[in-house]
């Protein structure tokens, strides 16, 4: 795989049982690139290691006044320099390719996992951790994969040099062969402490990243309440903790680097001291001493790769562990599906809560617990809990369908939908049935003022569809973002559309018009709306009231207001005293001490609905 061939057609199925297993899986899947890097690395390091032999031959030829051997030494040195240049160039090219392709493979795996899990990902893993894995951790994993082949080439070169020195000059070769392994393993006792300090640094950096992302996402709200300084102080404290942890980690790694410089120097001094005694005794020639000395001096270069691989593994191991933890998350249902690809139709039924949404009708769901409503909406979208039962669509369990078929059949719009940056046209270019035009969806979602605001805020767009939307729609109000997200969902025109509080940030008059528009546009399609707004509830074909985790009542909104006190308490926000009957039968809707509710009570809210209906009819 070359960089120009990215992305991978299929990044593969990772071994996410642990961090080391994931790293080994990455190495195996890039074996050809690793072997190529190893080959160029061997050429580079062997060329470097052969220079001392050429220098030794040249020195001895000068001592013996041999012009032929001196010319031979010059040719060997030129050949070694050429091999060094070629090997180093292509080693760097192959190593960077391995780094980038490994990082790209991990990013593709993370992107595929995010697409598979959907909104369930951030419920199971902190958003800051996902950001850390997809940015800094990806680079560290790629670094280790890239450094591994160079480290292997350095090890092979050191073994070859030690064997060659023992054959070339046994007396000094034994000293070098014993000393080099000691140099390589001398820093091992320090690695666990350095790794722990690096882990602490990354943990604190992850928390700081999560705090920063949360602060940026809620900056508008923080400014509204004057809390930006408080969160800025929190982030400043978190960043200082990261700095202190980084300094402590850097001290340990600097100690390891110092040892990697000190010990080879001591070995070099030992070789020179012992070699001089051997030369004075006539046991070795001057050229042989120069060769051994130069070999030991140049071997300090591949020895540094021991420090690099230790640092790379220390940094990549926790990164790989976090990546493996994210990649090990599984959709509670079978992604491939045990049924053939199909788009079922019919009633939507949840066995866990006994919620039934009839086909082709608008069903409103009222739930006193917003978190429970979110979990139910997620389950209706084909993401049941690990041990939960699957939702049935037309009698077909969604978890038996391939993921693509399940998502084509049921679309869930979250309570806080995200708008991606780009033009409005790009925002609405989503997989769709083709039955709903973008203009109709925008009209149903009451986006006329949003289109005007986009054109007014654009410098060169005359057509609202060409106006650009900033990241997450930050330049728009909460209600405007909600309506654009609703229009995007309506454009897809799925068999079943599940909306979780789609109008919580709009005013009542706009909400009433949205309810009418959605009802008209989704005629003949199944729509489920989680809401407690009387304006939406009154437009629904049926209302389902959930108390706890089961269906407590089903009926029309006005009927449930009069007959179900618990429903009335959720919808009208009245207290238990206000919903208690005054001497009459339970649930007659009459408040104590009055013939009708006070201003803001049940009857008043029903009158508001009737007034809005009259306004719409005359509009």
pLDDT higher at 17 or 171: 17
Q: Do 76 and 174 fall within a single domain? A: yes
Instruction: Show the domain range for 283.
Output: 13-327
- Enter the tokens of residue 70: 């001196």
Q: Which of 327, 358, 393 marks a domain boundary? A: 327
Residue pLDDT, tens place only, 405-457: 888 889 998 888 888 888 889 989 988 878 899 999 999 999 998 888 888 87
Q: Do 320 and 380 fall within a single domain? A: no
Please give the order of strands across the beta sheet that includes 410-413. 410-413, 496-500, 526-530, 362-367, 542-547, 550-555
User: What is the 3-class SS of 412-436, one letter each residue?
Assistant: EECCCCCCCCEEHHHHCCCCCCCCC
Is residue 390 one of the residues assigned to a domain? Answer: yes
Q: Do 446 and 489 fall within a single domain? A: yes
pLDDT for 316: 86
Q: Do 138 and 97 fall within a single domain? A: yes
Is residue 505 one of the residues assigned to a domain? Answer: yes
Q: Do 39 and 90 fall within a single domain? A: yes
Q: Read off φ and ψ for residue 505, nearest 5 degrees.
A: -115, 15
Q: Do 308 and 372 fall within a single domain? A: no
Residue pLDDT, tens place only, 233-263: 888 888 899 899 989 988 988 888 888 788 8
Residue pLDDT, tens place only, 96-115: 899 899 999 999 998 888 87
Is residue 595 one of the residues assigned to a domain? Answer: yes
Residue pLDDT, tens place only, 371-411: 788 888 888 887 766 556 788 898 888 878 877 788 888 99
Q: Do 443 and 411 fall within a single domain? A: yes
pLDDT for 604: 47
Sign of torsion, CA 442 446 452 458? negative
Q: Which of 327, 356, 374 marks a domain boundary? A: 327
Tell whether the model's pLDDT for residue 127 goes beyond 70.
no
Q: Do 319 and 381 fall within a single domain? A: no
pLDDT for 1: 65
- Enter the tokens of residue 435: 């039955």
Is residue 332 one of the residues assigned to a domain? Answer: no
What CATH number is attached to the domain comprising 257?
1.20.1560.10
pLDDT higher at 315 or 536: 536
Q: Do 290 and 427 fall within a single domain? A: no
Q: Do 322 and 355 fall within a single domain? A: no
What percent of the chain shows pLDDT beyond 90? 23
Is residue 561 one of the residues assigned to a domain? Answer: yes
Q: Do 424 and 297 fall within a single domain? A: no
Q: Do 160 and 278 fall within a single domain? A: yes
pLDDT for 588: 40
Non-local CB neighbours of 544 within 8 Å, separated by 6+ positions: 355, 356, 357, 363, 364, 365, 366, 551, 553, 554
pLDDT for 486: 95
Is residue 169 one of the residues assigned to a domain? Answer: yes
Residue pLDDT, tens place only, 561-611: 999 999 998 888 765 455 444 444 344 433 333 333 333 444 444 455 555
Number of domains in the chain: 2
Q: Which of 327, 362, 385 marks a domain boundary? A: 327
Is residue 334 one of the residues assigned to a domain? Answer: no
pLDDT for 262: 84
Encode burial over 212-225: b for 16+ CB neighbours within 10 A, e otherwise: bbebeeeeeebeee
What CATH number is attached to the domain comprising 436?
3.40.50.300
Is residue 6 one of the residues assigned to a domain? Answer: no
pLDDT for 484: 93
Tell whether the model's pLDDT for residue 229 goes beyond 50.
yes
Average pLDDT, the chain: 81
């Amino acid at each position: 795989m070359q960089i120009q061939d990215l992305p991978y057609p299929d990044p593969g199925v990772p071994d996410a049982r642990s961090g080391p297993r994931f790293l080994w899986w990455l190495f195996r899947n890039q074996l050809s690139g690793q072997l190529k890097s190893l080959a160029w690395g061997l050429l580079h390091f062997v060329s470097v290691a052969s220079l001392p032999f050429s220098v030794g031959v040249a020195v001895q030829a000068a001592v013996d006044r041999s012009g032929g051997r001196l010319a031979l030494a010059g040719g060997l040195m030129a050949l070694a320099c050429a091999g060094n240049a070629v090997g180093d160039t292509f080693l760097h090219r192959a190593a960077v390719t391995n780094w980038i392709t490994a990082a790209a493979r991990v990013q593709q795996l993370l992107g595929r996992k995010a697409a598979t899990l959907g909104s369930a990902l951030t419920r199971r893993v902190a958003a800051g951790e996902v950001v850390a894995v997809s940015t800094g951790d990806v680079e560290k994993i790629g670094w280790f994969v890239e450094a591994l082949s160079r480290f292997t080439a350095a090890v092979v070169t050191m073994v070859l040099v030690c064997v060659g020195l023992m054959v070339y000059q046994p007396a000094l070769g034994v000293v070098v062969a014993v000393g080099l392994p000691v140099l390589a393993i001398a820093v091992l006792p320090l690695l666990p402490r350095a790794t722990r300090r690096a882990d602490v640094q990354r943990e604190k950096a992850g928390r700081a990243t999560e705090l920063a992302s949360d602060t940026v996402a809620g900056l508008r709200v923080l400014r509204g309440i004057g809390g930006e300084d408080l969160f800025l102080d929190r982030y400043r404290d978190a960043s200082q903790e990261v700095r202190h942890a980084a300094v402590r980690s850097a001290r340990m790694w600097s100690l390891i680097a110092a040892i990697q410089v000190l010990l080879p120097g001591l070995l070099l001094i030992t070789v020179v001291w012992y070699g001089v005694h051997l030369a004075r005794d006539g046991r070795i020639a001057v050229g042989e001493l120069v060769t051994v000395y130069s070999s030991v001096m140049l071997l300090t270069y591949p020895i540094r790769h021991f420090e690099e691989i230790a640092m790379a593994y220390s940094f990549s191991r926790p990164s790989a562990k976090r990546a493996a933890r994210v990649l090990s998350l599984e959709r509670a249902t079978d992604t491939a599906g045990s049924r053939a690809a199909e788009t079922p139709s019919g009633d939507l039924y949840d066995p866990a809560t006994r919620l039934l949404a009839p086909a082709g009708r608008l069903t409103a769901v009222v739930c006193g617990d917003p978190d429970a409503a979110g979990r139910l909406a997620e389950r209706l979208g084909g993401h049941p809990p690990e041990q939960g039962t699957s939702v049935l669509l037309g009698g077909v369990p969604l978890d038996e369908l391939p993921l693509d078929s399940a998502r084509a059949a049921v679309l869930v719009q979250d309570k806080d939908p995200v708008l991606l940056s780009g033009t409005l046209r790009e925002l609405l270019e989503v997989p769709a049935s083709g039955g709903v035009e973008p203009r109709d969806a925008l009209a149903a979602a009451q986006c006329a003022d949003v289109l005007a605001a986009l054109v007014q805020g654009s410098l060169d767009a005359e057509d609202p569809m060409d106006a650009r939307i900033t990241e997450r729609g930050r330049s728009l109000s909460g209600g405007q973002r909600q309506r654009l997200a609703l229009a995007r969902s309506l454009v897809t025109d799925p068999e079943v559309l599940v909306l979780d509080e789609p109008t919580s940030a709009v005013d009542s008059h706009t909400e009433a018009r949205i309810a009418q528009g959605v009802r008209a546009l989704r005629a003949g399609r199944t729509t489920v709306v989680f809401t407690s707004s009387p304006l939406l509830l009154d437009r629904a074909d049926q209302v389902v009231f959930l108390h706890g985790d089961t269906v407590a009542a089903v009926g029309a909104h006005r009927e449930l207001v009069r007959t179900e006190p618990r429903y009335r308490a959720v919808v009208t926000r009245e207290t238990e005293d206000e919903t208690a009957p005054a001497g009459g039968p339970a649930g007659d809707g009459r408040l104590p001490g009055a013939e009708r509710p006070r201003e803001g009570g049940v009857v008043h809210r029903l009158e508001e609905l009737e007034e809005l209906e009259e306004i719409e009819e005359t509009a």
